[in-house]
Amino acid sequence: MADQDRPQITLITPPSLDLETFPDRLARVLDEVEIACLRLSLASKDQDAVGRAADACRLVAHARDVAIVIENHLLLVERHGLDGVHLADGARSVRAARKDLGADAIVGAFCGTTRHEGLAAGEAGADYAAFGPIGQSPLGKGESAGYDLFEWWSEMIEVPVIAEGALTAELVARFGPVTDFFAIGEEIWSAADPAAALHTLIAPLG
């Protein structure tokens, strides 16, 4: 696969972070693997905790010229100097987020497994549509985003597309030709060496 066709990587944080250790682990991954964007995906509803995590991760990411977006917490984007927002509710909030954050911010949307949701997100001004899971996952309804969805999207739609969810090296090899990005998180963070785990996972991309 030619470099210009090689999918880029969005790195997703774990849902909870130990700020004593995670910034160093994150820095090692960013130093060893070329990452296009970091997505803060935090389970906490504690504004202070999320804000501290956002600040710590922003410092690591921006020091390496990596953009950072936060999942859903629109009001924290400007407050913590982030680059944009990743919306988990498909197209629903894209237009309002774009209006609030302006033309230069990154506004992305997770659109599950449905082409229609992705099209609506793109029409509303999303910078990308994410679909998944592409692997087998017991979460949600157990549905997956199929190869045909990505194949059709890559041929017909100019809005960049992200493949994510339950990724394996085999799926990376298969979906590589039809996606612009892979979003990777839970697949690597439980490993002793997340950077090595990421290298192994994306090795089929060459």
The per-residue pLDDT for range 107-138, each reduced to its tens digit, is: 999 999 999 999 999 999 999 999 999 998 76
Contacts of 165 (CB under 8 A, 6+ apart): 132, 133, 134, 135, 137, 144, 145, 183
At residue 183, what are phi and psi to the nearest 5 degrees?
Answer: -100, 125
What fold, for 3-205?
A: TIM Barrel (3.20.20)
Question: Taking 50 as the threshold, does the pLDDT of residue 1 lie above it?
Answer: no
Output the pLDDT for position 136. Answer: 86
Candidates 133, 114, 142; CA nearest to 184 is 133
Distance between CA atoms of residues 69 and 87, nearest Å: 10
Pair 143, 196: CB distance under 8 Å: no
| Residue 49 token pair | 């905790």
The per-residue pLDDT for range 132-161, each reduced to its tens digit, is: 999 987 666 778 999 999 999 999 999 999
State the average pLDDT over residues 63-80: 97
Output the pLDDT for position 160. Answer: 98
Domain layout of the chain by residue ranges: 3-205
The per-residue pLDDT for range 36-50, each reduced to its tens digit, is: 999 999 999 999 999
Pair 53, 17: CB distance under 8 Å: yes
Distance between CA atoms of residues 181 and 133, nearest Å: 14
Place of tokens 């996606």: 179
Q: Which of 2-6, 94-98, 182-186 has the lowest mean pLDDT?
A: 2-6
| Residue 100 token pair | 């609030």
